[in-house]
Structure 1
Amino acid sequence: MNFRMIFARTLRISLYFLLLLSIIAIIAYAYLKTVIYPQLPPTDGLHNIHMQEPLRVYSKDGAALAEFGDERRKLLKFEEIPELMIQAILSIEDARFYQHHGVDFHGVVRAGVSFIKSGFKARQGASTITMQLTRNLFPKSIGREKKLERKFKEMLVAWEIEKILSKNKILELYLNTIFLGHRAYGFGSAANIYYDKELDQLTLAQYAMLAGLPKAPSANNPLRNPKRALERRNYILKRMQQLGFIDTQGYEAAIAAPITAKRYRFSKDFDAPYVAEMVRTYMLKNYPEDAYTGGYRVYTSIDTPLQKAAQQAVRKNLFDYDHRHGYRGAIAQIAIEDLLPPATDNEQQALTTEAVSPQEQHWQKILEKYAPKAGLTPALVLAVENQSAQAYTWKHEQVTIPWSGLKWATPYINDSSRGPTPKTAADVLTVGDIVFLKPAPQKVEKKVAKKPTETTQEDTEASTEDLSVPLIKYWHLAQIPQVEGALVSLNPKNGAILALSGGFNFYHSKFNRIIQARRQPGSNFKPFVYSAALDHGYTPASTINDAPVVFTDYKGKVWKPNNYSHHFTGPTRMRKALAKSLNLISIRMMHEIGVQKALDYATRFGFERHRLPPNLTLALGTPELTPLEIIRGFAVFANGGYRIKPWFIERIENPQGKILYQANPQVVCRSCDLPLEVDEKAALPMGLAALLKEKTVEEIEIAKSPVFEPDPQNNSKPDSEANQPQYAPRIITPQNAWLMTSMLKSVITEGTAVRAKRLKRNDLAGKTGTTNDQHDAWFSGFNADIVTTAWVGFDQPRSLGRVGRKRETGSSAALPMWIHYMRVALAGKPQHNLPRPAGIVTLRIDPETGLLARPEQSNAISEYFERRTAPTRYAQKMEDLYMSGQGPDDAGSPDADQLF
């Protein structure tokens, strides 16, 4: 065969081969064009790509309160990512990242050779960081199946991404999107979750540990598989050394480092679960599509120190109530023979670590099913001595419970009865008991004399507490209280909720008693009736007869109301009647002014009319109201007569910091000379219930509450309109508000709340409340800067009972909670009383009749009046002199000039 024939044949074969390649290329192109390309995601929006971020809740001072969402992500800019972290990732995932253009053909060839050598089994991957990023950004379009088609898609999209984004931007996206186990997406959140640190605070060994997670977040996880995680970490460190990222000394130090990873949850500055749940519910209703993934930052009106004080006050108060009523016994009992571990063979014994004995392992296993609750630690009683006990706690500690932590545990019989006082630890505990313990400060015993005080029907016993006594930490026997309580505090000048605790423990009961529990306020409602009486012409000196009264309705039903003490004081001044919380006087006043007028007047304070009983029982506080509705009413007295709207969301931001909503609440403007608003329509419900999309299993039917609901479309309003100040309407006169505050101060100085005098301030006013059979105990109190309401009761109403002869009332059950909180809230704050408004005068009066005191009267007292309703007659004795002709001409009705 000559050369020409060979050449012709070769050319023909080559042409056939080129034709075949062309056909394959055309088919491949057609396949890519018609099948693959339509499936590829668009890449033109990568510059503005949105990554899922959780919803985060903050206090007004920036403290982190809560986080909601399945993906925990903390976005970092490329400049914020430590160089060692980047080098660790490049060492293991894509060493030629800065040399290729999205697809590393060296890696493809290497993976192909490995594939052939292994008998067509995948041994090496050829994915670059850019290709991995495509899977993270477009999981639905690219897929995750190990197929050749997926690789083609990854390559094509990777090429497009490399054309659009810089290398640093690609790496930034990758490091923020990759899943790293335990809900961590991105290395910023992984540093928080595994090490409770920021990414720039980690060590070389920790960077290498995190770099080993992307390939298999479960298999290489240091928490689930520490041995395998350690091997991969060390391999990464070796690669970093080989690539020149670290020197030999750094490598050897990192190799020797132990595994320090642990599971850390969201790092809250403070846990305020009831507030966080209110925010979560609101966001789900108003941002339903991406409430958990949109990266919203919600800043509340909550003041962190006050929130801490509120939650501590609720818990302390409920623990104190619980201790007063006795110990209900262990939560479980383990037989003595079961306290010893089962016999183990030599092989099992060898597996036991030196740090934990078989005995302790057995105790730990017993305690596994009992989780800590509300700061209480489960413990197993191991030994009971004369006046102490030994226990092993859920925290794997063996502790001593001294007598000071046991002697309170008088056996509980019922809410009004207890068993004999324990003499020894054996009267309280038995070996094998599983109990709750809490660390508690023990005060060095120091007797403090009680100051004599006037006893009233609602406990007025002075406190012996001395905060200067040194403290010693010890373990205290405890139990989960059955009783519940709640506290809410707000700024009366604009309605901002400063602190809110809806119960003893949110994780035990999610029912928020501040906005959901409708309970009778009892005497806590009387100030609104008294305010109506002042508006009707009564004065603080008006005398009303505290005597038995009988009412018969049109059906012939007889009602015989009584005082709490079942005693009667006869003619009594209005100020003293409020201080002593006399029921019959409240009823007589309301009967005098009329039920309809009292109802109309009460709605001014924001109470819904249909919630108020249209009869005289309203004077005793029989409507069912939430604590938030009550505090809104008391805020009117605190701010000088204006109805505010409580609110809790200050602003909402998106991940870029753009403000989507900014609170613009109605504020009190005492210099604005606003007219008195008496339109009851203004008191229609504004309902927090509308914020709640659906009820949870734990919820009782949501009660409507007067909470200012943020407008999610507020950002669409013109700036000029959105920033316009809004003024709270005036609903009672400044004179009425000032006189009511003055009388409510008497509740503290001489009435049912005298124990509040321990705060040593003269700017505090308030009112106790106790309902029939002591189902509910209340105290609401304020100064010009802050108003706070405290409530105590059982979720399924029953009597709060008594301790000995001492009943649990608003004074003994709720007021201590208020005091504990207000001590913190008012610390370092100057006294603040609202200035006396024009038209208020001071006159000397007779304490028995409330009329003007005679000039020579030695027992006269001073009282405040509105000029228009001030008394114009002298006390009876002077009038007798005048009628007999022995008194001065002006003895009966003095001129106004003489009075004022």
Structure 2
Amino acid sequence: MPNNDQPTRRSRQNSEEDFDETQSGGGLVKKIILAIVGVVILLIVAGAALFFYYASSAPKVSQSELASQNGTTIYDNQNRVISRLGLQKREYVKSDQVPETLKHAVVSIEDRRFYKHHGVDPIRIMGAATANIFGHSSGMQGGSTLTQQLVKLSVFSTAASDRTFKRKAQEAWLAINVERHFSKNQILDFYINKVYMGNGVYGMQTAAQYYYGKDLNQLSLSQQALLAGMPQSPTYYNPLASDTQAATQRRNEVLNAMVRSKYITQAQADKAAQESITADLDPKHGNTSNGDVNVNEKVIDAYVKEVLADLQQKGYNPYNDGLQVHTNIDLDAQKHLYNAANNTVSFQSDKMQTGVAVTDPHNGQVVAMLGGRKLGNTIYGLNRAVQTNRSSGSTAKPIMDYGPAIEYLQWPTFKSVSDTKFYYPGTNTAVHDFDNKYKGTMTMRAALVQSRNVPAIRTLQDVGIKRATTFLKGLGISQKKPYNLQNAIGLYISPLQISAAYAAFANGGTYYEPYYISSITTQDGNVKRYSPNGHRAMNKATAYMMTDMLKGVFTDSQGSGTAAHISGVNQAGKTGTTNYPGGNQSGVMDSWMAGYTKNYSIAVWTGYDQPQSASPISDTYTDSAQWLYKDEMEYLDSQNHASNWRMPDTVEAVRVNGKRQLVIKDSKWALQYAAIDDDDYDNSSSSSSESHSSSLRDSIVTSGSVFSNNDHNDQQSGRNDTGASNSNNNNGDNNSGANNAPTPGKATGNGGAVGGAVPTTGGTGAH
């Protein structure tokens, strides 16, 4: 009988096959696991090799670097120190002068395993990584130890671009080495004396004096907890801020961290948390004083403010990175400008303000800048040189109207333009000048020098908004809303933008983006240099022809900028004024002067910060902008005299009606006239024959109201508006009978759409 318990040949064969499949499957899994382990080991080895490779190139760190207080130093273009962040007196506090409570507070909030690790804390790194991945981080601690933070503050930049694996590897390596050579107490002392504490203050001892007028060992538990928590975000946790909620919350986080670390009891924390965050603050900032910089910070305030903003935009932290920043400021020119605005030039009152920007047409470097005048102790306040909420008035005409007309339509300087009755399309809103007159047909040169509004608007119509927008964009000027016809006589742009735009006329057509910083040197010796960023914005012919016409603003006996004329200086420019919107108040609201030589471009705004609550600028003080411009340009040209411009070979001079004019070579207008020898004419005064009126006010009149853009003080120059506007045909550019009385139209301010909406903001020439 067969034994049923014995496997048959078939069953044995099937079992063997199943066993082989199991063995095969298990072998595959084992191979996969071994492969993964191998890859992991390989990655670890490769990572370790890369780590040590990067570590081998790490910079050295000395005790002096660890102990130094690393404020950023700012230099002028002659390598002279003009500012140090943290000008207060810095007090280095020794370990025995630092309260144990403060040390415990710092360790609790910044690195609670500080006394256990050796510079790098793997547990802390893994914890921070896990918290970041799963979103459980409270924001109280990151992966860097106190020692790593000290190394970063002493050697490296905190710029976002420097947060690389290489930098982290070097930072970790140096932290390990620092721990080998210095005790925990020494490291903690270095950190407490180095960190930035807001308001230009470095080190917690200096901060104790600045905020409370006390030494560290005199502070309460609450005050020490606040100081310990501030380095994470000094500005946000500033107890002097108008809103101290963030500072209070941070102080309480530190107290709770100290409880968790068993340095204080919950009762002690609760009692300290009851103390007001503003208790015992010292408004006199204790025993702090200015540092060793011999430059009055008020003189350079606006410039330094923009430098700091630029540094932060580039990813640096000027308060922690210990940078050496070389700028393009000409300190002597800056001092001269400050003195002129505050002491030399006359203004209507101390409340009358100004914003000034000076750029170098060769490269876009910002040479000098003034954010205001008579500012008292205000530091890093409103910089009026970069504000864009005031209309530029008729300084817009060269860049919005006539420049594009030459560039795209090839208009000659003698192109006929019409100063006749004009209504904004689709409306009954009429546009006039201050004299409530129209002057008929005149040349483009005459219209620009006299700053007539209607010809400017008609020119923009011929050019087209699209092409004018393109021209402006090439000069670094743009806005979100589409431009309209009213922008022909005013743009919302800053003095810095106007200075940079006019600089393109000065240098033959290249627009350079204005910039403040020439180089940045970080603590590890890395140098980042900055070069001009320019592009061609217009043809050489356009730049030269505009310059030739704009000379007449200064040299024409009727010119609007004669108050800024400087004998022997080759300059060109444009004035501009605006009036109050809606005709609610008569008089001038803003007054501008923008001009340039081949070496400098200056734009000046003057007015009141709150024009609606201030008296209008009188006729006399509309010239304050010109006086300030003249004072600064006269100084600059005396230091670096500019030669006259040379006519490019794409332009030729022609005689039209017995007068010198310019035309683009080979254009349809050039073929109608014979070229003349330009050397036979004095270019500096060639436009004088183009004046047609004794009054040159850039004004717009609507519905019988005068919105005067007083480009020049006629009373000061001995001119009389009455009857003077009838002398329209002195030079043959005006048609007889051109002074027709305007038909009253709907009242308009400035800024209204072409479609007929009545604007409510802005002044004459503003959109």
TM-score category of the 2 structures, normalised to the smaller one = 0.5 to 0.7
Tell me what 1:740 maps to: 546
Tell whether 2:58 aligns with 1:58.
no
CA distance, structure 1, for counterparts of residue 305 and residue 660 of structure 2: 50
Could you give the per-residue CA deviations for residues 782-840 of structure 1, whole angstroms, max 9, x where no partner exists?
A: 0111101000112223476354xx3653xx13111111111211114233233321122
Tell me what 1:865 maps to: 663
Deviates more, 1:49-58 or 1:773-782: 49-58
CA distance, structure 1, for counterparts of residue 589 and residue 482 of structure 2: 19
Displacement, 1:861?
A: 2.2
CA distance, structure 1, for counterparts of residue 370 and residue 539 of structure 2: 32
Pick closer, same or farther for the CA change 1:276–1:840 going to 2, 3 Å. Answer: same
Tell me what 2:486 maps to: 617
Tell me what 2:589 maps to: 775
Displacement, 1:616?
A: 1.7
Tell me what 2:412 maps to: 539
Tell whether 2:709 aligns with 1:837.
no
AA of the residue aligned to 2:602: T
Pick closer, same or farther for the CA change 1:302–1:217 going to 2, 3 Å. Answer: farther
CA distance, structure 2, for counterparts of residue 214 and residue 560 of structure 1: 70
Displacement, 1:873?
A: 4.4
Displacement, 1:762?
A: 4.3
CA distance, structure 2, for counterparts of residue 624 and residue 543 of structure 1: 28
User: For 1:576, what is the secondary structure of its paired residue?
Assistant: helix
CA distance, structure 2, for counterparts of residue 765 and residue 796 of structure 1: 31
Tell me what 2:504 maps to: 636
Displacement, 1:502?
A: 1.1
CA distance, structure 1, for counterparts of residue 82 and residue 468 of structure 2: 42
2:560 to 725, 747, 752: 752
Pick closer, same or farther for the CA change 1:661–1:842 going to 2, 3 Å. Answer: same
CA distance, structure 1, for counterparts of residue 178 and residue 476 of structure 2: 59
Larger Rg, first or second structure (1 or 2): 1
Displacement, 1:487?
A: 0.4
2:422 to 546, 549, 557: 549
Tell me what 2:322 maps to: 295
Tell me what 2:467 maps to: 597
CA distance, structure 1, for counterparts of residue 482 and residue 628 of structure 2: 27
CA distance, structure 2, for counterparts of residue 795 and residue 141 of structure 1: 46
CA distance, structure 2, for counterparts of residue 842 and residue 45 of structure 1: 67
Tell me what 2:348 maps to: 322
> Does the 8 Å contact 1:72/1:185 carry over to 2?
no
Tell whether 2:405 aligns with 1:516.
no
Displacement, 1:649?
A: 1.4
Could you give the per-residue CA deviations for residues 651-699 of structure 1, whole angstroms, max 9, x where no partner exists?
A: 222346x144211222xxxxxxxxxxxxxxxxxxxxxxxxxxxxxxxxx
Displacement, 1:753?
A: 0.6
Tell me what 1:814 maps to: 625
> Does the 8 Å contact 1:612/1:618 carry over to 2?
no
CA distance, structure 2, for counterparts of residue 142 and residue 800 of structure 1: 55
User: For 1:281, what is the secondary structure of its paired residue?
Assistant: helix
> Does the 8 Å contact 1:800/1:808 carry over to 2?
no
AA of the residue aligned to 1:273: D
2:293 to 268, 284, 290: 268
CA distance, structure 2, for counterparts of residue 815 and residue 531 of structure 1: 23
Tell me what 1:653 maps to: 521
Pick closer, same or farther for the CA change 1:567–1:309 going to 2, 3 Å. Answer: farther
Pick closer, same or farther for the CA change 1:49–1:835 going to 2, 3 Å. Answer: same
Correspondence list, 1:382-421, <5 A? none
AA of the residue aligned to 1:291: P
> Does the 8 Å contact 2:329/2:367 carry over to 1?
yes
Identity %: 22
User: For 1:322, what is the secondary structure of its paired residue?
Assistant: coil
Tell me what 1:881 maps to: none
CA distance, structure 2, for counterparts of residue 624 and residue 800 of structure 1: 22
User: For 2:348, what is the secondary structure of its paired residue?
Assistant: helix
Tell me what 1:312 maps to: 339
CA distance, structure 1, for counterparts of residue 437 and residue 616 of structure 2: 21
> Does the 8 Å contact 1:73/1:186 carry over to 2?
no
Correspondence list, 1:395-474, <5 A? none
> Does the 8 Å contact 1:53/1:295 carry over to 2?
yes
Tell whether 2:599 aligns with 1:785.
yes
Tell whether 2:437 aligns with 1:567.
yes
CA distance, structure 1, for counterparts of residue 215 and residue 621 of structure 2: 60
AA of the residue aligned to 1:861: K
Tell me what 2:636 maps to: 825
AA of the residue aligned to 1:278: E
Displacement, 1:184?
A: 8.5
> Does the 8 Å contact 2:573/2:593 carry over to 1?
yes
CA distance, structure 2, for counterparts of residue 633 and residue 868 of structure 1: 27
> Does the 8 Å contact 1:52/1:71 carry over to 2?
no
Pick closer, same or farther for the CA change 1:550–1:752 going to 2, 3 Å. Answer: same
Correspondence list, 1:846-861, <5 A? 846=657, 860-861=658-659
AA of the residue aligned to 1:736: T
Q: Return 5+ residue gaps in structure 2 as ranges.
A: 1-59, 109-146, 148-176, 220-286, 581-587, 675-767
Correspondence list, 1:92-171, <5 A? 139=103, 164=181
> Does the 8 Å contact 1:599/1:609 carry over to 2?
no
CA distance, structure 1, for counterparts of residue 540 and residue 194 of structure 2: 62
Displacement, 1:763?
A: 1.3
> Does the 8 Å contact 1:72/1:184 carry over to 2?
no
AA of the residue aligned to 2:392: P
> Does the 8 Å contact 1:801/1:807 carry over to 2?
no
AA of the residue aligned to 1:792: T
- RMSD of Structure 2 on Structure 1 (CA): 4.4
CA distance, structure 1, for counterparts of residue 629 and residue 570 of structure 2: 15
User: For 1:314, what is the secondary structure of its paired residue?
Assistant: helix
Considering Cα pairs closer than 8 Å and 6+ residues apart, tell me whether 1 or 2 has the greater RCO. Answer: 2
Displacement, 1:743?
A: 0.6
Pick closer, same or farther for the CA change 1:178–1:800 going to 2, 3 Å. Answer: closer
> Does the 8 Å contact 1:69/1:293 carry over to 2?
no
What TM-score results when the alignment is normalised by the length of structure 1? 0.45
CA distance, structure 2, for counterparts of residue 186 and residue 588 of structure 1: 65
Displacement, 1:216?
A: 8.5
CA distance, structure 2, for counterparts of residue 742 and residue 789 of structure 1: 19
2:610 to 772, 796, 819: 796
User: For 2:362, what is the secondary structure of its paired residue?
Assistant: coil
> Does the 8 Å contact 2:411/2:663 carry over to 1?
no
Could you give the per-residue CA deviations for residues 830-883 of structure 1, whole angstroms, max 9, x where no partner exists?
A: 33233321122122221xxxxxxxxxxxxx2222221123444479xxxxxxxx
User: For 2:536, what is the secondary structure of its paired residue?
Assistant: coil
> Does the 8 Å contact 1:313/1:818 carry over to 2?
no
Displacement, 1:287?
A: 5.2
> Does the 8 Å contact 1:484/1:504 carry over to 2?
yes
> Does the 8 Å contact 2:471/2:537 carry over to 1?
no
User: For 2:309, what is the secondary structure of its paired residue?
Assistant: helix
Displacement, 1:630?
A: 1.7
Displacement, 1:734?
A: 0.4
Pick closer, same or farther for the CA change 1:46–1:585 going to 2, 3 Å. Answer: closer
User: For 2:496, what is the secondary structure of its paired residue?
Assistant: helix
Tell me what 1:585 maps to: 455
CA distance, structure 2, for counterparts of residue 162 and residue 632 of structure 1: 52
Displacement, 1:307?
A: 1.0
User: For 1:53, what is the secondary structure of its paired residue?
Assistant: coil
CA distance, structure 1, for counterparts of residue 78 and residue 84 of structure 2: 17
1:488 to 357, 360, 363: 357
Tell me what 2:764 maps to: none
> Does the 8 Å contact 1:70/1:292 carry over to 2?
no
> Does the 8 Å contact 2:419/2:440 carry over to 1?
yes
> Does the 8 Å contact 1:747/1:766 carry over to 2?
yes
